[in-house]
């Protein structure tokens, strides 16, 4: 999706003054969330740039609190023992990490179980944690907000599957959550039903039809949230031989996912578990979740399906943010934070961006944000060994926990950063299969951006635009560097000259040097 063109700030340009180091973001610098679901109990401590947080701590226990609920109406006894042990540990860890605020929520299993209240009281007595039980509509809203954390302005439907329930919510494309609905289509609950496979699939189909009433009939995009969906996505990657093993923003077509669901039906589950590294507890839910997803895709007929690694926990963090923070670009804020923490000269990335921007006169906002992010990140890996710095940059960009980027954009950013440190990809170990995620013209453009950053960072370490400006004349096939200070002429030494020629060569233009203001 393409964000609207932002208002240009006179000092900071089109990306605005950074907020991550202001009081609004500092108050969220370490937020803890405990999510007590029907299948898993997880604690996440978010740390870093508040708009695009890093995971300071992330631990999950697959307790199976909702196992057997359909027969007993009670929480699973063994699951309660494991959940209490996990929550005692989490409370100690949160105390040691000085987390504030600390949020704990419980969903379908604790909400519906006869002994849910007693379990909450026991948790409070043993750990001091106060658990907030949320209903299905609230669960859907928080999951939708988690998607918004990574995709500002996202539009479509989100579907969050847990162990005992499944929720649907509408994202309107304006940062607003619309209609919400909940169902009992969690795989743990479905596995407790005693009926034939044919009858179970008919039940799923009918429940999906009821759930989908009132929602757009053909949403442009369906965002999938939840561990069972992520497990299916890993299988889809394995079936396709997909080269980038990052689940967040992984995209599939309806036909492709239906082919994968058929593949799951015909393949030994243990073999799939071994090939994808999925836990046994999660994999046992996959066949039932696959039946639900098949009915969902056939009913909704989305144009595209995307996996979101962000859900309720991230939605709770998003809930704590001011409107000003919510409106910021998560990629730019994370890149700024990384520069401030790790670059040799924090603040230089903005100046480098201004220096190289004339090379991309037709770039739209979605491309400009990638160029800006690359400039902010261009020096954050400087402590790596020089022989491996290019590869480290590439890996950081393509595999880092960054929101607001497609997989193709990850490769574009990684490729630009690789060429920031190396003119050639030969010998870098760069996986050429990843190039298939980018059109050929984008591969070339990313290389040009990398070489431009390589030249700009070498030319002047403080502010290259103070001493020289770049002009690109595509019709004349010329790249002009105008040196307008004596210092600029001194700075344009042999190494800088070589990098300028290399940039011109990548652009297939004639390098020209001019003197004067």
244-278, pLDDT tens digit by residue?
999 999 999 999 999 999 999 999 999 999 999 99
pLDDT tens digits for range 123-161: 999 999 999 999 999 999 999 999 999 888 899 999 999
Q: Contact at 8 Å (CB) between 69 and 95?
A: no
Tokens of 131: 């658990």
What region does 87 belong to: left with phi over 0, alpha with psi -120 to 50, or beta?
alpha
365/325 Cα distance (integer angstroms): 19
**Mean pLDDT along residues 275-296:** 95
CATH fold, domain 137-314, is Nucleotidyltransferase; domain 5 (3.30.420)
What pLDDT score was predicted for residue 6? 45
Name the phi and psi angles at 305, rounded to 5.
-125, 130
Domain boundaries along the sequence of the chain: 24-133, 137-314, 329-515
pLDDT band at 110 (very low <50, low <70, confident <90, very high): very high
Look up the pTM and report it. Answer: 0.88
Find the DSSP H helices in 172-327.
187-191, 197-211, 227-240, 254-265, 269-276, 280-283, 286-300, 312-320, 323-326
The CATH number for 329-515, chosen from 3.30.499.10, 3.40.1260.10, 1.10.3110.10, 1.10.3210.10, is 1.10.3210.10
Fold equal for 24-133 and 329-515: no
| DSSP strand pairing (166-172 vs 304-308) | unpaired
CATH 3.40.30.10 fits 24-133, yes or no: no
* pLDDT one-digit tens code per residue, 67-83: 999 889 999 999 999 99
Kindly tell me if the per-residue pLDDT of 53 is higher than 90: no
- What average pLDDT does this structure show over 313-327? 85
Distance CA 421, CA 388 (A): 9
Sign of the CA dihedral running 345, 347, 353, 354:
negative
**Structure tokens that stand for 396 in this block:** 């950081």
pLDDT per position as a tens digit, 217-249: 888 999 999 999 999 999 999 999 999 999 999
């Amino acid at each position: 999706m393409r964000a609207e063109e932002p208002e240009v700030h006179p000092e900071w340009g089109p990306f605005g003054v950074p907020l991550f180091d202001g009081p609004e973001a500092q108050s969220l610098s370490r937020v803890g969330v405990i999510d007590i679901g029907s299948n898993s109990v997880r604690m996440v401590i978010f740390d870093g740039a508040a708009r695009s947080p890093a995971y300071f701590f992330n631990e999950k226990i697959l307790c199976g609190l909702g196992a057997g609920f359909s027969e007993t109406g009670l929480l699973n006894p063994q699951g309660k023992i494991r959940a209490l042990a996990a929550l005692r540990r989490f409370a100690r860890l949160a105390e040691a990490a000085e987390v504030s605020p600390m949020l704990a929520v419980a969903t379908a299993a604790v909400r519906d179980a006869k002994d849910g209240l007693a379990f909450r009281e026991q948790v409070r007595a043993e750990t001091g944690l106060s658990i907030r039980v949320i209903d299905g509509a609230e669960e859907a809203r928080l999951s939708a907000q988690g998607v918004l954390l990574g995709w500002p302005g996202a539009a479509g439907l989100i579907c969050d599957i847990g162990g005992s329930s499944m929720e649907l919510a509408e994202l309107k494309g304006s940062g607003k959550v619309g209609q919400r609905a909940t169902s009992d289509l969690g795989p743990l609950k479905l596995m407790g039903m005693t009926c034939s496979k044919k009858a179970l699939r008919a039940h799923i189909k009918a429940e999906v039809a009821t759930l989908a009433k009132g929602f757009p009939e053909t949403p442009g995009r369906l965002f999938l949230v939840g561990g069972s969906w992520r497990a299916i996505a890993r299988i889809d990657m394995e079936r396709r031989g997909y080269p980038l093993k990052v689940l967040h923003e992984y995209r599939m077509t309806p036909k492709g996912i239906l082919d994968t669901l058929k593949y799951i039906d015909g393949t030994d589950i243990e073999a799939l578990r071994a090939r994808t590294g999925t836990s046994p507890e999660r994999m046992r839910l996959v066949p039932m979740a696959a039946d639900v997803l098949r009915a969902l895709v056939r009913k909704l007929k989305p144009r595209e399906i995307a996996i979101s690694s962000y859900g309720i926990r991230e939605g709770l963090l998003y809930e704590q943010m001011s409107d000003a923070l919510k409106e910021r670009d998560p990629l730019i804020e994370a890149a700024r934070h990384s520069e401030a923490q790790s670059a040799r000269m924090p603040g230089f990335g903005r100046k480098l961006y201004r220096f190289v921007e004339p090379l991309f006169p037709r770039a739209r906002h979605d491309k400009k944000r990638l160029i800006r992010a690359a400039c902010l990140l261009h020096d954050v890996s400087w402590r790596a060994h020089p022989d491996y710095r290019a590869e480290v940059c590439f890996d950081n960009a393509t595999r880092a926990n960054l929101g607001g980027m497609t997989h193709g954009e990850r490769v574009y950013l990684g490729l630009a950063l690789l060429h920031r440190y190396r003119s050639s990809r030969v010998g870098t170990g760069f996986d050429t299969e990843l190039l298939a995620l980018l059109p050929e013209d984008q591969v070339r453009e990313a290389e040009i951006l990398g070489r431009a950053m390589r030249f700009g960072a070498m030319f002047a370490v403080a502010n290259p635009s103070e001493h020289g400006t770049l002009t690109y004349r595509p019709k004349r096939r010329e790249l002009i560097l105008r040196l307008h200070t004596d210092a600029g002429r001194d700075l344009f030494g042999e190494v800088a000259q070589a990098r300028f020629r290399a940039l011109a060569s990548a652009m297939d233009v004639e390098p020209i040097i001019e003197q004067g203001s």
